[in-house]
Structure 1
Amino acid sequence: MQVLLTAINSKYIHTGLGVRYVAEYAKGAGHQVALLEETINTPILAVLERLMAAKADVYGFSVHIWNKPFVFRLLSMLRKLRPEAVIVVGGPEVAFAAERIFAESSAIDYIVQGEGELVFSQLLNALAQGTAIPAHIAYRSEQGAELNGGVTVIEDMSVLPFPYPDLEQVLAEHKIVYYECTRGCPFNCAYCLSGISRSVRKRPLAMVLQDVDRFIAAGAPLVKFVDRTYNLDEKYFLPMMEYLAKADTDATFHFEIKADILTERVLDFLETVPKGRFQLEIGIQSTNPATLAAINRKDDWARLAANVHRLLAFGNMHIHVDLIAGLPYEDLPTFGKSFDDVYNLHAHMLQLGFLKVLPGTQMNKETAEHGLLYMDEPPYEILATKYMPYEDMQLLKRMENVLDQTSNSGSFNHILEALMEVSWQGPFAFYKDLTAWWVAAGHYPQSHNTKGVAEILHQFITERFQGQEAAMLVEILRYDVFTAVPGWRPQWLQWQSDAIFDAVSAFWRNEELVRRFIPDYSFSSWRQIHKNYPIELFLNHWEDGREGNFLVMLDLTGAEVKKILLPEQEIL
C-alpha cells in the first residue's frame, strides 16, 4: 500500500515538522511512505500534478491555520480524479472539530484526532488488514461523524524518530530546521490550543542531545525549538542549554520562553553563552491586568521586565517580544499602554500580532461575551471587538506594517529614538503619528527595502521639522544609513567623503596609527581598503552627548559590521 504524506508550508524556507514525525514513524513500522512538501505559493495545479504522479493508495495531509483553504481545494480536486483513494487529514486545524470538518469537506475519509504518529500507523494497519478503525481516528458512518475516542497525545516521547532523514538536502535548500523536545503546555491561555493537553511530556535528554549533534554535524545554521514554553523545567532544559553553549558550532538555537520564571542560576549562565548561540522569543501579549486575567495568563511584570533588561545587557543574544491586539478588555488607550511598556524594554524586535479566534478555544466560546468579530475562514483574525472598533484595529494593522519596516528592521534605532525625543511623544503616540503620516503620504501598504525606508524617514523629517532640529535629525539618519547600508551614498544626505578624502588617505598611509584600530591590518589595494573600511565624518555626536564632529570607521570584514570611533583631532 503506497502512502503519500503532504505538508503545505507557508513559505519555501519552512519545513513540516509534524508530518515528518508521522512519516518517519510509519516508515519505521514497515509502511511505504513518501513525503511531499510544497507551499501555499506553489500553483495548486502543480501540486495536484505531483499528488497524481505519486499514484498513492492513501493520501495524508497536515492541515494548519495557514493552509486549510489551499488543502481543501486540493482535496476536492483529488477526490474527483482518484475516487478510490483514501484521504486522511490531521493537524491542529482539523483534529479538534471532526464533525465540522466532515461537513465542510466530503472528500475526507478519516481525521487523525491529536498527535498522529501512533494512530496513523495503526490506521494504515487497519486499512491493509481490513480490521476495525483504531481509536482516535474519526470517520464517517451512517449515523454521521464517529469521533471514536477523541483526541490523543504521545505519552512517551522516546518513541518519536529523528524527523530529518533528508537533513543534508534540507540544509542545501536553505530551509529552517524545526525541532521539539517537549509537547503540551501547563498553561491555559484562552486563545491557544496547546494547553488542551495540560501535561508536558519530555523527550529523554540523551535522545535530544543525539538529535542536536546530528544538526551540528550537518552544519545547520539555525535550529528553532517549537516547544510552547521551553524553560518550564530547569533540571531538563538547563543541561541542554549548557551542552549547546559548549558545542563546537556556529549554529543559532531559537527558544520560546517565559521570562518571568528565569532563575538567577539560569540568568548567570546565559550571560556566559557565546554571542549568537541562542535567540529568545518572549510572549508578553499584554500588560493590562484585566486582559491578562481574561486570557488566563499570570505574569510577574516587574520580574519579567527586569529579566529582559538583564538579558539585553548581556549583549550576546537576539531578544524578540510579542504583543497581541484584539484581546478582551483592551481598547486603544489600554493597548497603547501595553505597547509603551513592551517597547520600552528595547528588545531587538517587537512583533505586533492580532488575535486569532481559533475553533475550540476559550476565546471562540466567549465570542458573544466580548463582541468578537473575526474572519470566518482561516486565519480567523480579529476584525473588531466590543472594546476596540474596526477603525482602531485598522490603525494597529497599519502600525504593524510601519513598525516592521522601521524599528523591527534594526536599521534605524538612533533616528527613531531621536524622533521620539524631539517630538515629546511616547512610543505608541509616536508610531500612531508616524503611521498616520505614512499612510497619508502614500507609502502604505507597500513594502519598502532599507533604502526606501530611509528615504521615507528623510521625507518625514524635512516635512515635520525645520532649522537646526531638522539638520540634527538628518545627521542621525545619515549615521543609521551609513551603518545599515555601507557603500550607499544618496545625494539627499550631505556626505563628507570628499571633504575628508585627503585626511583619510593620510591616515591609511600611517600604518602605526591604523594598527591601533585594526591590529591585523595589512594593505591589499586602495579599492579593498575603501570597500572594507569606509570612514565618514558626522557633525553631531548625539550618542554620548558630546558636541562637535566625530569620525566613524566600519569594519566590514567579518560576519557583523563593527563600528570604530576614530580620534578626529589626530586625523583631520
Structure 2
Amino acid sequence: MKTVLTAVNARFVHSSLALRYLKQYNPEFDIRLAEFSLNDNIWHMLDSLEKEKAEVYGFSCYIWNMEPILKLAEMLKKAVPNTFVFLGGPEAGCRAEEILKSYPFIDGVMVGEGEQTLKELLGRFADGILPDALPMIPGLMHRRAAFEPRRELDLASVPLPYTEEDLPLLQGKIVYFETSRGCPFHCAYCLSAAEKTVRAFPMEYVKKGLSMLFLAGVPLVKLIDRTFNYDNSRAMEILRFILEESRNTCVHMELEPQILTPELTALLGSAPKDRFQAEIGIQSANEKTLQSVGRSCNLKKIAENIWNLRQYGNMHIHLDLIAGLPYEDYASFGRSFDFVYHLQPDMLQLGFLKVLPGTPVCHMDGIVAQGFPPYQVISTKWMDPDSMRKLREIEAAVEMFYNSGAFVKTVKQLVSEDDRPFSVFETLAGVLVQAEKKGKRKRRELYSILYEVYGESLREALSEDFIRYNQNVPLPAFVHPQREKGFKDKTYQLMKNDVFCRTYGIVPDLARLRFERMDGKAYMMDYASGKLWNITMELDAEIDRC
C-alpha cells in the first residue's frame, strides 16, 4: 500500500520538515513525498500525484496554501475516487470539524502532532480495514467515529527527519530543523497560546541532527523553535556545538530579546561573520497593545539587548512589527515603527495581524479580518481601512527601499534630514504608488524618480546607491555619466598595476569590477567586496603619465 504525503510550499527554496518527520517515524510503510510550490501549475501537481496511484494521500496545510490544497484535493479525489485523502498541519487541525462538514472529498483531518496518528491509520489499512469501517484513532477526526485528542509525543521517540540520502535532494533549498516544540509565552495571536509547556528534544538528537546537516554542507539551517533562547544554558550548549562543528553553515534562530543574557549575547558575538542570523519579534512599542496580547514589555531592555547584539556586527538581525493589534492606531504604529527602525535592523518586516482560528485574538472585540486564509486584519476600532491601506503601501516601500538593501545611503540621508523614519517611508510609499501608476515598477527606474522628487540634494546618495546595487545596468542621466576618450584603456592599465591592486585589495577581474566617471569623479566598484572607491587621483595620474 502506497502513501503520498504532499506539501505546497510558499516558494521553491522552502522544504517541508513535517513530511519528513512523518516518513521517518513510519519506516515500515511505503511513503513517498511530493513537494511543490505555490508557483506550480495545479494541473502539473495533479498529474504528479495521480500517476503515483497511491491508496492514501496526505496534505500539509498552512494559511498560505490551504486554498490551493483544497482545490487540488478535490481534483485528486475525482481523478482517483477510491483513495483516502486526509489533511494535517496547523491550518487543518484548528478547522477539522468545519472542513469535514464543508468538503466531502476530505476523508479525515489529523489534529496535532501526526507521527503516531499516521502510524495507527496506515496500520489499520495494512490490517485490511477499509476506510468506510475505520474505527476511532486518537488524533484523527473523520466521519465514522467520535474524535479523541492525542497526547503529545515523547520527543525522545522521534527519529531525525533527515537521512544522508535525503539531503542531496534538498540542494538549493532552505533546510528546517527544531530543537524544541512549544513556547513559554502565550501571545494571543499565536497558535502557541494554547500550548502549556516547552518540550525539548534530547541534546544527543539535536547535536546528531545538526552535525549531519553541517557535514552535508547545507548553507542555511532555519531553527523553527518558537523561542530558541527560552532556556539560556541549553541555548548556549547548542550554540557552542554549532561554533565547534559548523564550518560554512549559517544557522537562523528566533530570539526573545528581553531574556537575552550577557553571556548568550557574548557567545553569539564571538561567532564568525554570518554564522548566525537572528529574527526578533518586537511587534509593537505600545505598552498597552503588548499587554493586551499577553506579551511582556520592557522597551528599554529590548533596545539595550538588541544594541548589545548589534555591536558585534557579525550577524544578520531581522526585526518584526505587526500592524492591526489592539489599541494601536495609525499614529501609535508610526511610533512603533520609529522605535524598531532606530534599532537599525538588517531587515524590518512590517507584517499584518493574522486572526488565526483557535487563538485568543479571535474573541477580542473590535477586530475585523478575512474569514478565510490568511485571516489578515482588515480594520480595527483603532485603525480604519484607509489607515490599513496606507500601511500596506508603506510595507511595499519598506520592502523596496529598505529591505532590498539597494537604497542604503539614500534612505540614511532622508532619515537624517527628517528624523522620523515613519514619515520618510510615508513619502516613499507615495512615490512608489505614483511610479506604479505610470507603469514604472522596475527598481532601476526608481532612482531617477527619487531624483525628480528630491532634486540635487539627494543626487550623490542616489548615484552611489545605483552603482553599488545595479551591476551591468547603464547609469541614469542624473548622475552625469561621462567617459572621455581612452577612459577604458586607462582603467585597464590601472588594473595591471600591482601597487594599485594591493592598495585596494582587488583582483583584476572585470566580472567583479566596474569603473565609471560620475560628476567628474572616477569611481571603482568592487562587487565581490561591496566596496565603492573614489579613484579620481589614481586615474588622473594614469592619464597624466600617458
Q: What is the TM-score with the length of structure 2 in the denominator?
A: 0.91
Alignment partners' CA distance in 1, 2:493 and 2:64: 58
Contact 2:3 2:31 in 1 (8 A): yes
Give the percent of matched residue pairs that are identical in Structure 1 and Structure 2: 33
Determine the structure 1 residue equivalent to 2:415: 420
Contact 1:5 1:59 in 2 (8 A): yes
Q: Per-residue deviation at 1:311?
A: 2.1
SS of residue in 2 equivalent to 1:133:
coil
Determine the structure 2 residue equivalent to 1:109: 107
Alignment partners' CA distance in 2, 1:97 and 1:34: 26
Query: Is 1:484 paired with 2:469?
Result: yes
Superposed, which structure 2 residues align to 1:4-403 within 5 Å? 4-27=4-27, 30-129=28-127, 130=129, 132-141=135-144, 146-148=146-148, 150=149, 152-164=151-163, 166-172=165-171, 174-366=172-364, 369-370=365-366, 372-403=367-398
Alignment partners' CA distance in 1, 2:142 and 2:440: 45
Determine the structure 2 residue equivalent to 1:554: 525
The one-letter code matched in structure 2 to 1:517 is Y
Among 517, 526, 540, the residue aligned to 2:504: 517
Q: Per-residue deviation at 1:535?
A: 4.7
Residue segments in structure 2 that go unaligned for 5+ positions in a row: 542-546
Determine the structure 2 residue equivalent to 1:410: 405
Alignment partners' CA distance in 1, 2:416 and 2:486: 31
The one-letter code matched in structure 2 to 1:462 is E
SS of residue in 1 equivalent to 2:230:
coil
Q: Could you report, residue by residue, the CA deviation over 1:175-214 in whole angstroms, capped at 9, with x for unpaired residues?
A: 1111111110111111110232221111112221211121
Q: Could you report, residue by residue, the CA deviation over 1:222-277 in whole angstroms, capped at 9, with x for unpaired residues?
A: 11111111111122121211221233521211111112211111111122101111
Alignment partners' CA distance in 2, 1:379 and 1:230: 25
Q: Per-residue deviation at 1:537?
A: 6.2
Residue segments in structure 1 that go unaligned for 5+ positions in a row: 540-548
Residues 1:482 and 1:106: Cα distance change in structure 2 (over 3 Å):
same
Q: Could you report, residue by residue, the CA deviation over 1:453-475 in whole angstroms, capped at 9, with x for unpaired residues?
A: 3432332232343xxxx1x4111
Residues 1:78 and 1:508: Cα distance change in structure 2 (over 3 Å):
closer
Q: Per-residue deviation at 1:4?
A: 1.4
Determine the structure 1 residue equivalent to 2:544: none
Residues 1:551 and 1:282: Cα distance change in structure 2 (over 3 Å):
farther
Determine the structure 2 residue equivalent to 1:436: 430
Contact 1:126 1:133 in 2 (8 A): no
Q: Could you report, residue by residue, the CA deviation over 1:14-66 in whole angstroms, capped at 9, with x for unpaired residues?
A: 11111221122112xx1111111112322222222222212212211111111
Q: Per-residue deviation at 1:9?
A: 1.3
Residues 1:6 and 1:505: Cα distance change in structure 2 (over 3 Å):
closer
Residues 1:99 and 1:153: Cα distance change in structure 2 (over 3 Å):
same
Contact 2:108 2:140 in 1 (8 A): yes
Aligned length: 534
Alignment partners' CA distance in 1, 2:538 and 2:160: 64
Alignment partners' CA distance in 2, 1:178 and 1:282: 18
Structure 1 stretch 313-322 or stretch 130-139: which is displaced more?
A: 130-139
Contact 1:504 1:571 in 2 (8 A): no
Among 444, 453, 459, the residue aligned to 2:449: 459
The one-letter code matched in structure 1 to 2:159 is L
Residues 1:169 and 1:513: Cα distance change in structure 2 (over 3 Å):
closer
Alignment partners' CA distance in 2, 1:570 and 1:127: 78
Alignment partners' CA distance in 2, 1:314 and 1:163: 33
Alignment partners' CA distance in 2, 1:337 and 1:477: 27
Q: Per-residue deviation at 1:78?
A: 2.6
Alignment partners' CA distance in 1, 2:311 and 2:32: 47
Residues 1:299 and 1:443: Cα distance change in structure 2 (over 3 Å):
farther
Determine the structure 2 residue equivalent to 1:544: none
Q: What is the TM-score with the length of structure 1 in the denominator?
A: 0.87
SS of residue in 2 equivalent to 1:279:
strand
Provide the aligned C-alpha RMSD in A: 2.6
